[in-house]
A and B are shown apart, each in its own frame.
Chain A
Amino acid sequence: MKILTLNFLTCARKLCKSSNTAFPLHPKEADLEIVETEINVLFLKNIMGRLMWEELKGVVGELGLPDLPPTPPEPETLVETKLQAPEGDNTGLNIEKAEVPSQIAKDLHRVLLETCVKEGKLVCGNCGHEYAVREGIANFLLPGHLV
């Protein structure tokens, strides 16, 4: 499960709905893996406004990953313009401006979309219910008495 998804996931129990501590879920004994995907700057721009940065930093800290900057990066900083020749043109005459993902965007992509929780548990901060994660699939089925 991607770290991005962890930033949206809450406890599934009804009585945790109104609690502030039901989000975020805290990873426990988590095994991480990197699944490389293609960077999608438009998606990052779209999702930036919806991230809860403080909680994201908390989760990243709990997983023992390198720290994130104290404030969320501005959407404009995710791309940088670079002068480069179009592909397949080696004459060096037709240099044009191209937008390429900046280092900030690459780092964010690495953390949010490529770092995945493979095995472990997610613990609700309110009720303490543990959701098991196996092979990247979290089990959110609740037994009847907990619904």
Chain B
Amino acid sequence: MSRPEDTLPPDLFYNDAESRKYTTSSRIQKIQSDMTHRALSLLHLTRPSMILDVGCGSGLSGEILSASDAEGTPGGPHVWVGFDISASMLGIALEKEVEGDLFLADAGQGVPFRAGTFDAAISISAVQWLCNAESSEESPAGRLSRFFNGLYASLRRGGRAVCQFYPKNDEQKRMVSSAAVRAGFGAGLLEDDPATKSAKTYLVLTVGGGELEGDITGVVRGMEGIDVMDSRRRAKDRKRGDERKGSRAWILRKKEQMERKGKVVKANSKYTGRKRRVIF
């Protein structure tokens, strides 16, 4: 898969030609609209809301946000504000006369809105661009933390944000989600079609509030076809159960761990980790 963010900064990569290509390609339009609908279903909006679109580009997802409830946008029509770093993309959005307000801004420089402005935020295929820094004065971690801090402040309590992005590797996934957690969000990753070419990663962020249960596990409850893998709970369970070093449970876990790493591991049997009698 080609990664445009490795070649050029976003404001230069999305020049007039590339922006037009991006916006007129029916394939990209279809993918973008599917992802926007997926993100909207994760946001659970029930009434017309104020939404921030980070990296709105030419307004492909904005058009869906402005659509009414009857046209398939839950809780719509919403009022949205979008920003993007590429002037060419915004130029195309102007030509299309999208309804939202547009800004030319860099998400890595923060979110210039006062506290509690938005009910929700959505970002489609944009956050991976923040993992690159173009000058020595800034770092990817710094840009991510400024973005998530600003986003956290500008969302109202009980608000949600869904950021779909294309992580380069697991390390980048971890970097993005830990930056969000450090900003104060309840964060979780939802992966559609994992380990396929069309894998999509959604970072689901929640801002406190009683309307939902804490974090992503509350968000996806009741949705079909989703397996929850909660690494926190596993760690907690282990602490609670009395799994001593050298016990059968411990050995089985270690063997499983080694197997996952690709090491050759002897098969488990009834003798695995069994205690020898004293008499022996």
Interface residues of A (CB under 8 A from B): 1-2, 4-5, 8-12, 14, 23, 37-38, 40, 42-43, 46-47, 50, 52, 113, 135-142, 144, 147
Contact = CB atoms under 8 A, between A and B. Distances in A.
Given A40-B48, A42-B47, A46-B50, A140 B112 contact: yes
Contacts of B105: 12, 139-141
B89 to A, nearest CB: 11
Contacts of B138: 147
A46 B109 CA distance: 29
B117 A14 contact: no
B109 A12 contact: yes
A88 B77 CA distance: 26
Given A10-B112, A50-B117, A2 B101 contact: yes
Given A47-B50, A135-B94, A10 B102 contact: no
A140 B103 contact: yes
B2 interface: no
B79 interface: yes
B85 interface: yes
Contact of A138 (B103, B106, B113): B103
Contacts of A141: 85, 104-106, 109
A9 B112 contact: yes
B79 A138 contact: no
B117 A8 contact: yes
Contacts of A43: 47-50, 77-79
Contacts of B99: 37
B104 A140 contact: yes
Contact of A136 (B78, B102, B137): B102
Interface in B106-135: 106, 109-110, 112-114, 116-117, 119, 135
Interface in B83-99: 83, 85, 90, 94, 99
B152 to A, nearest CB: 13
B104 A10 contact: no
Contact of B101 (A5, A10, A47): A5
Contacts of A144: 135, 137
A42 B101 contact: no
Given A137-B90, A144-B135, A11 B112 contact: yes
Given A5-B81, A42-B48, A47-B50, A142 B109 contact: yes
